[in-house]
């Protein structure tokens, strides 16, 4: 019996599965066209994962009062769990290990996880501020030729393509 065993294993160990979901979530949030193509089971597992993190961003945009800034920091830290840790590197730090000194500092190079949290709390939090859920959509594409896996597109709703189509 499968009591209290809610999610798909996707043929991976726990650590690998969590890493896969973090990578897919980061790709979806950072994607310019706001969609990714993956298999149907992965898309179905990714949907609640991404919707939880978007709900955190939406809550941050709806905060008011004295403790709003503190709560927003708390929600950002909670959301950062859904992505891989965002490291930043200076070009100066890289050159230090090569023996070069005196190079000027260049801007910080952000990793995808940091960019995802910034985009989430900036653009997506305001877009879904008044929406109570259902931030993603899964569209089935058919089967992949190589291994016959069922493919799907998972996308964020109310994206720029939809807005342009409504105006026409």
d(CA 126, CA 68): 15
What is 14-167's CATH topology?
50s Ribosomal Protein L17; Chain: A, (3.90.1030)
CB neighbourhood size of 98 (10 A): 8
Largest CA distance in the chain: 65
Domain boundaries, the chain: 14-167
pLDDT digits (tens, 9 = 90+) for 75-98: 999 999 999 875 555 555 555 555
Residues 6+ apart with CB under 8 A from 160: 34
Decide: 150 and 64 in contact? Cβ < 8 Å. Answer: no
Both tokens of residue 35? 């969609």
pLDDT digits (tens, 9 = 90+) for 94-126: 555 555 555 555 665 668 888 999 999 999 999
How does the average pLDDT of the chain come out, rounded? 87
């Amino acid at each position: 019996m499968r009591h209290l065993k809610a999610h798909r294993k996707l043929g991976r160990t726990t650590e690998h599965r969590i890493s896969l979901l973090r990578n897919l979530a980061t790709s979806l949030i950072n994607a310019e066209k706001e969609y990714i193509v993956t298999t149907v089971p992965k898309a179905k597992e990714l949907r609640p994962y991404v919707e939880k993190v978007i709900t955190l961003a939406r809550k941050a945009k709806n905060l008011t009062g004295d403790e709003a800034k503190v709560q927003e920091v708390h929600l950002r830290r909670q959301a950062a769990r859904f992505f891989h840790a965002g490291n930043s590197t200076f070009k100066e730090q890289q050159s230090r290990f090569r023996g070069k000194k005196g190079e000027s500092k260049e801007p910080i190079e952000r990793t995808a996880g940091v960019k995802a949290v910034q985009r989430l709390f900036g653009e997506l939090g305001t877009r879904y501020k008044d929406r109570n859920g259902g931030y993603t959509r899964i569209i089935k594409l058919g089967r992949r030729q190589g291994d016959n896996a069922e493919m799907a597109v998972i996308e964020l709703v109310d994206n720029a393509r939809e807005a342009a189509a409504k105006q026409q």
